[in-house]
Chain A
Amino acid sequence: MIEVKGLVKTYGHKRAVDGVTFTVKRGDILGFLGPNGAGKSTTMKMITGFLRPNAGKATVDGIDVAEAPVAVKGKIGYLPESAPAYPEMTVEEFLGFIAEIRGFRTAESRRAPVDRAINLTHLAPVRKQSVETLSKGFKQRVGLAQALLHDPPVLVLDEPTDGLDPNQKNEVRSLIKSMAVEKAVILSTHILEEVDAVCNRVIIISQGKVVVDETPEQLRARQPGARLDEIFRNLTRGDI
């Protein structure tokens, strides 16, 4: 579903992303790991068409992001880092706006997807509340609801469980897992257990390069008996 080949993004003379290559198939949940500033978010922004790569290309469902950005964006549900949303709108208005842009033109056709997204992310108690009055956990769920709204074949989630309490984290993880059967999912995270809990593949990125691309089991097998964060530290030493 997602194919990324030799993506490069430079800021000035710094190569934030330096030749990242991987593929994600339908049914995959890819965990994107790496220290802060390693290039995780930048890679995701290039896949979703927000940033243009300096070299390399990304295709989603066989469509080149650079050639047909609007078509690709229609297939992706994207949760940007820190879940931005228009603060003055209520949850319902905001999701209605997203639905309208996603092609649900009439108020009637919008109701079903908006209700579904609200139910999936348990936003019902705050649906009439404006986004700026929400707690961090609710804001994060609004971002998730927005990404799931059109039931996209591809989900790109930048730190989806950031700001959630342990129970909510669990719930979001099982939600992602339950949906992943017919989707391709990329999620970035700082939390190593999350990879164990949801992902069936791990990519560790360090200084803009992919240093690991394997299953969580293979990652564990690198240093039997060691904790995941020790393995992670050894692999990303260059970033410190």
Chain B
Amino acid sequence: MRHIAPIFKREFLGYFRSPVAYVFLVAFLVISVSLAFSRYGAFFRAGVASMESYFTFFPWLFMFLVPAVGMRLWSEEKRSGTVELLFTLPVTTLEAVLGKFLAGWAFLAIAVLLSFPMALTVGYLGSPDWGVVVTTYLGAILMAGGYLGVCTLMSAMTKNQVISFVLSLAACAVLLFLGFSSFTETLEGLLPLALADALANFSFITHFDAFTKGIIDPKDVIFFLSLMGFTLFLNVVVLER
């Protein structure tokens, strides 16, 4: 496990050594903030000192933006041949997978936390419930990890970044839509009720919702952590194949 650190460091700094990091961070913050102030977010019209109108778009934003971060993790290594270099260094597949995943996750966490001026704005305009703000940030970061786990897995399956992006987007979309009643109702028509219910439990939205209300339910935390664990396990399997 002691090789995780150098791999993490290389991958994490790798975002900042290329324009990827700056383009991503600026795009993410501009889009997320403008959505909150848009007519759909209704930040001012709501007249409430909360960040709900900011975070409500996160599951949607992540569906597009996390695949953009995750698609390069393995595809780029495979395309450029550095994967051969990496796996002939004395590291295990698990160390490489964890190092890379944690780097991507840390980067996403930074992106989420850089929205702090929004929190300051809310704090300046009113007196928000800071507990709720903190749990929402925690939920957003956990959710980013869940999305990223799915995306790294897709990235490990192909050396083509476009395919990796599209697969990730599709997988993330399914995990997102599972939470909508119209979608689950269709499922209930097709599948036994118990199975449809179980599937609906896999939605990001359902598990993120509680955080935005200030609740840290162990069930939700475990959902995101086990989703990461499971996708990373599959990631190792795919790479060792």
- Residues on A facing B (Cβ under 8 Å): 45, 48-50, 70-71, 73-74, 76, 78, 80-82, 84-89, 97-98, 100-103, 130, 146
Contacts and interface: CB of A to CB of B under 8 A. Distances in A.
Interface of B: 3, 5-7, 9-10, 14, 17-18, 80-82, 84-85, 87-92
A156 to B, nearest CB: 9
Given A88-B18, A89-B17, A102-B90, A45 B84 contact: yes
A146 to B, nearest CB: 7
Contact of A146 (B9, B17, B85, B91): B85
B89 A98 contact: yes
Given A86-B14, A97-B6, A97-B10, A80 B87 contact: no
Given A84-B80, A85-B82, A88-B18, A48 B3 contact: no
Contacts of B9: 97, 100
Contacts of B89: 73, 98, 101-102
Nearest to A146: B85
Given A100-B6, A101-B3, A101-B90, A87 B80 contact: yes
A71 B92 CA distance: 10
Contacts of A100: 5-6, 9
Smallest CB-CB A-B distances: 6 pairs: A84-B81, A100-B6, A88-B17, A74-B90, A73-B90, A48-B88
A49 B10 contact: no
Contacts of B17: 88-89, 130
Given A82-B81, A97-B6, A88 B14 contact: yes
Given A86-B10, A97-B10, A80 B85 contact: yes
Contacts of A97: 6, 9-10
Given A84-B81, A88-B18, A49 B87 contact: yes
26 contacts: A48-B88, A50-B84, A70-B92, A71-B90, A73-B91, A78-B85, A80-B81, A80-B84, A81-B81, A82-B81, A84-B85, A85-B82, A86-B10, A87-B80, A88-B14, A88-B18, A89-B14, A97-B6, A97-B9, A97-B10, A98-B89, A101-B6, A101-B89, A101-B90, A103-B90, A130-B17
B7 A101 contact: yes
